[in-house]
Structure 1
Amino acid sequence: MTSTAEKATRLQELHAAPELLLVVNVWDAITAKVVAETPGTQALATPSHGIAASRGYPDGEKIPRDEMIAEVALIVRTAGDLPVTADLEAGYGDPGGTIARAIDVGAVGANLEDQMKPLGEAVKAVEAAVEAARKAGVDFVLNARTDAFIKTDPATALTEAITRGRAYLDAGASNFFVPGKLDEAQVARLVEELGERKVNLIGIPGSIPLKRAQELGVSRVSYGPWSQNVALTALAKLAEDVYAGGGLPADTRKLN
């Protein structure tokens, strides 16, 4: 079995490689098993929104930290030798302690949201997370996230994101995560200002093509709650078809 330290090193290598790292987010043991066994999978990622929703909580740190960490632990065990990076929101009021607990259950990377808190406060959270990983002796992939494109004026979002990205990377974050519907020019500017293989994006309807993201120097694309929405859409369509007198789709696979 690959050690936590070895998985962390592997995840760092995947982010630094010239090939775009693609991670399809999973939210429980069976989704982790299905994606882990899919050819081409190199790492797994968890979505905080998806895990919270699967346990009956709204998004936004409403799920107790213990429950979130317990689900991450289950996904890590299911993933086997694959590295797992976890979405841990803003750290549940204790960024350093939350990262330490994630490492304890075998996670080797994490998203940490800034929630557009004052920059100094957000930087301190990154520093606490980095220090927790240092103490654990793990080359942890901290993916510092900004909500600039979600919560601020579109006219100033790019400038704000660049400022925050520089600060988080200077504070020791491995990568910078910028969720939102960004165009090619915005992505190119972020990579130019922050460095190649440092910027991570989310795949949403209307996102730039994956091939173009790689050409621009993006490190990783993940899918957050959208992979869960794909699964739920299929479930809703099944229910609609059954109620209309139909049945299972002919291409259904037995995956559990």
Structure 2
Amino acid sequence: MNDLARRLRELHGQPPLVLPNAWDAGSARAIEAAGAAAIATTSAGVAWAAGVDDAGGLNQESAIAALRAICAAVSVPVTADIEAGYGDVAGTVTAVVEAGAVGINLEDSTARVLDDPLVHAERIRAARAVAVASGIDLVINARTDTYLFGDRTGTIERAKIYADAGADVLFVPGVVDAPTIAELVKDSPLPLNVMVGPGAPTVAELADLGVVRISVGPAITSAAYALATAAAKELLTTGTYEALRSL
């Protein structure tokens, strides 16, 4: 398992690690077949697949069950989105490692409210302690929701605190403009992960900016469910199948 952990860690560099996000075993296998060197889970996608809302609907048990199936389905390293740790960071990270994942996303907000950075630092320390005790060189991707929630001024200060606590990467969703990304790369003590989608710089452009990790969050899941909804509506109303031409 440490071979997978080392591989995941080594992939953070140039060219950047590009992570299409999976939500179940089937999507993970499809992403691996497409050529992904590693797979990240999306908590939002996992929640939707379980039939619950993203906002607090997913619990530790469901998240770990999905993760276990994903890890069993692929041979590449898997990094798990564990939100803020489901109220039990040590227990969640223990379960993550037992499931076969070698990385985590750990976010600094709860119920869509930013937490004190020192609170999040304790989560990171708890995660690292479990990893050390397990003998796994876990890659900890410290997510800060400052840009998502409009409190951008403290991003670098948070990054410094999270780096001191043992994080390996800084994940800043909500930022897609090149000048801001370049500034974050320059100022952050940790390598930068950004979340992309339509309108964001290309992978090549992000590489030139110095980004080391690129993910899409729940975007692929959203697209898959949007297609399912559109195809089902068309079939049930007009009785035609044009939506399926996109496959």
Q: Into which bin does the TM-score normalised by the smaller protein fall?
A: over 0.9
**1:138: Cα distance to partner?**
0.7
Contact 1:181–1:206 (Cα < 8 Å) also in 2: no
Residues 155-234 of structure 1 mapped to structure 2, 5 A cutoff: 157=152, 159-194=153-188, 198-234=191-227
- Residue 5 of structure 1 aligns to which amino acid in structure 2? N
The corresponding residue for 1:82 is 76
Aligned with residue 125 of structure 1, among 116, 123, 126: 123
Q: 1:25 aligns with which of 21, 24, 33?
A: 21
Deviation track 1:130-189 (CA, whole Å, cap 9, x = no partner) reads 111111111111100001011234xxx0x3111111211121111010000331111111
- For structure 2, the residue ranges without an aligned partner over 5 or more in a row are none
Secondary structure of the structure 2 residue equivalent to 1:215 = helix
Q: Kindly provide the CA deviation profile for residues 197-249 of structure 1, in whole angstroms up to 9, marking residues without a partner as x.
A: x1001113322222111101101111111110111122223224433342263
Q: Aligned equivalents of 1:166 and 1:209: distance in 2?
A: 27
Identify the range of structure 1 (119-128 vs 230-239) with the bigger mean alpha-carbon deviation. 230-239
Q: 1:61-94: CA deviations, max 9, x gaps? A: 4322111101100000001x20000100000111
TM-score (normalised: structure 1)? 0.89
- 1:91 match: 85
Q: Any conservation in 1 of the 2:118–2:161 contact (CA below 8 Å)?
A: no
Using structure 2 for the length normalisation, give the TM-score. 0.92
Aligned length: 241
Q: Secondary structure at the match of 1:19?
A: coil
Find 1:48's aligned residue among 14, 20, 43: 43
Q: Mind listing any 5+ residue stretches in structure 1 that lack a counterpart?
A: none
CA distance in 2, matches of 1:50, 1:192: 32
Instruction: Report matched runs for 1:146-157 at 5 Å.
Output: 146-153=144-151, 157=152
> What is the CA-CA distance between 1:21 and the residue it aligns to?
1.0
Q: Which shifted more, 41-50 or 61-70? A: 61-70
Q: Aligned partners of 2:97 and 2:130: how far apart in 1?
A: 9
Report whether the alignment pairs 1:239 with 2:232.
yes
Residues 190 and 247 of structure 1: CA distance in aligned 2, closer, same or farther (over 3 Å): same
> Does structure 1 retain, via aligned residues, the 8 Å contact 2:106–2:140?
yes
- Of the three residues 7, 18, 36, the one matched with 1:10 is 7
CA contact (8 A) 2:159 2:189 kept: no
Specify whether residues 56 and 13 from structure 1 end up closer, same or farther in structure 2 by C-alpha distance, changes over 3 A only: same
* In structure 1, C-alpha distance between the alignment counterparts of 2:104 and 2:208, rounded to whole Å: 25
In 2, Cα distance between equivalents of 1:108 and 1:140 = 5
Give the residue type in structure 2 aligned to 1:98.
T
Is 1:61–1:92's contact at 8 Å kept on the other side of the alignment? no
Output the CA distance in 1 between the equivalents of 2:47 and 2:158. 27
Kept in 1, the 8 Å contact 2:4–2:102? The answer is yes
Two-structure CA RMSD over aligned residues (Å): 1.6
For 1:64, the equivalent position in structure 2 comes to 59
What amino acid sits opposite 2:194 in the alignment?
Answer: L
Counterpart Cα distance in 2 of 1:236 and 1:181: 29
